């Protein structure tokens, strides 16, 4: 879906609307928004009375670049479809930890960049979980 959006952004000067009910599509969209050339990327979601269209550029402007780039890794680690949410912590608290700690932010930016996970990455993610649960 984002490959198609990127193609449209490179070949046309028009707004792009992605429709999805999934949070992970929103998270990825915010992270990739700046790479969509000359187009405005919108996320359309919701059902019935809760339908809304969100300008992903506006969302990205409100977040620091390092946080935006860490969001995909954080989302995958804490609450995507294939991972259970962090028990009893929700989604906001892990994000707050990443916003407040440059080491955690760097770890989540790098998460998924390689197929192998370094010992340093494992240690950073373990420290994140321990800090989150105050262990």
Q: Which residue has the higher pLDDT, 86 or 7?
A: 7
Confidence band for 115, pLDDT divided at 50, 70 and 90: confident
Confidence band for 85, pLDDT divided at 50, 70 and 90: low
Is the separation of the CB atoms in 5 and 18 below 8 Å? yes
Break the chain into its structural domains and give their ranges: 1-62, 65-133
Q: For residue 129, what pLDDT is reported?
A: 92
Q: For residue 84, what pLDDT is reported?
A: 62
Q: Which residue has the higher pLDDT, 3 or 109?
A: 109
- pTM (whole model) above 0.85: no
Residues 6 or more apart whose Cβ sits within 8 Å of residue 94: 74, 78, 86, 128, 132
Q: For residue 19, what pLDDT is reported?
A: 94
Confidence band for 80, pLDDT divided at 50, 70 and 90: low
Is the separation of the CB atoms in 90 and 83 below 8 Å? no
Residue 28 has pLDDT above 90, yes or no: no
Nearest to 110 by CA among 93, 86, 128, 92: 128
Beta bridge partners of 17: 42
Q: For residue 93, what pLDDT is reported?
A: 85
Q: For residue 82, what pLDDT is reported?
A: 59
- CA–CA separation, 41 vs 14, rounded Å? 9
Q: For residue 18, what pLDDT is reported?
A: 92
Residue 7 has pLDDT above 70, yes or no: yes
Residue 68 has pLDDT above 80, yes or no: yes
- CA–CA separation, 15 vs 30, rounded Å? 15
Q: For residue 61, what pLDDT is reported?
A: 87
Is the separation of the CB atoms in 15 and 40 below 8 Å? yes
Residue 48 has what DSSP assignment?
Answer: G
């Amino acid at each position: 879906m984002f490959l198609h959006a990127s193609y449209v952004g490179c070949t046309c000067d028009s707004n792009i609307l992605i429709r999805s009910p999934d949070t992970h599509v929103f998270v990825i969209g915010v992270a990739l928004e700046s790479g969509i050339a000359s187009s405005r990327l919108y996320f359309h979601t919701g059902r019935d009375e809760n339908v809304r269209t969100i300008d992903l550029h506006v969302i990205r402007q409100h977040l620091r670049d390092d946080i935006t780039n860490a969001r995909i890794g954080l989302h995958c680690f804490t609450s995507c479809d294939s991972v259970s949410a962090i028990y009893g912590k929700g989604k906001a608290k892990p994000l707050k930890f990443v916003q407040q700690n440059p080491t955690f932010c760097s770890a989540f930016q790098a998460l998924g960049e390689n197929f192998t996970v370094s010992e340093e990455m494992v240690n950073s993610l373990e420290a994140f979980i321990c800090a989150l649960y105050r262990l």
